[in-house]
């Protein structure tokens, strides 16, 4: 009985390690992503070039993922149409792509609540020094409202997504 349990634990550990480090298909060179679509309920980020789906990523969201971001500190990921407005190679979370949150609608809504909108919504990798978590980060929502991927995936988007790219974040 003990031998079977040990075998099962070793097998499960090997499967988890393989999952975490098994390489995924990369975007080919010279692709220019011109639209990103986030499907929050499915934890997916879709990357398009000229209307053709190039790649789908699994993401983590804000700790409180249901509903649109309403104000600073609510731990929600925004919903709406934004653009990629910045690229930061020196982020505290590997690299990041800035999202143009808040838009006019977000500002007006937060004002009706008497709260600040917040900002600094990003597509980012893992906290510096935590890259070994790799794909394990996908198992739970852990950001303050951003969209998180593995460091390799953020690197790929960083190379293929120009500033000004539209990002539509859906429920």
Question: Which residue, among 128, 134, 131, 103, has the nearest Cα to 117 in the 3D structure?
Answer: 103
Of 15, 105, 109, 146, catalytic? 146
Known catalytic residue at 146: yes
Question: Which residue, among 58, 14, 2, 31, has the nearest Cα to 159 in the 3D structure?
Answer: 31
Known catalytic residue at 160: no
Catalytic residues: 124, 146
């Amino acid at each position: 009985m003990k031998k079977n349990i040990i075998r099962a634990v070793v097998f499960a550990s090997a499967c988890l390690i393989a999952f975490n480090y098994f390489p995924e298909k990369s975007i080919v060179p010279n692709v220019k992503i011109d639209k990103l679509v986030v499907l929050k309920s499915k934890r997916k980020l879709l990357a398009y070039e000229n209307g053709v789906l190039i790649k789908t990523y699994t993401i983590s969201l804000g700790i409180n993922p249901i509903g649109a971001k309403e104000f600073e500190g609510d731990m929600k990921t925004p919903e709406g149409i934004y653009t990629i407005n910045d690229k930061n190679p020196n982020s505290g979370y590997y690299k990041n792509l800035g999202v143009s949150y808040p838009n006019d609608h977000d500002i007006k809504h937060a004002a009706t609540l008497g709260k600040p909108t917040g900002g600094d919504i990003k597509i980012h990798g893992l906290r510096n020094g935590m890259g070994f978590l790799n794909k394990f980060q996908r198992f739970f929502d852990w950001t303050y409202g951003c969209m998180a991927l593995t460091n390799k995936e953020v690197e790929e988007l960083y190379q293929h997504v120009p500033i000004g790219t539209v990002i539509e974040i859906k429920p």
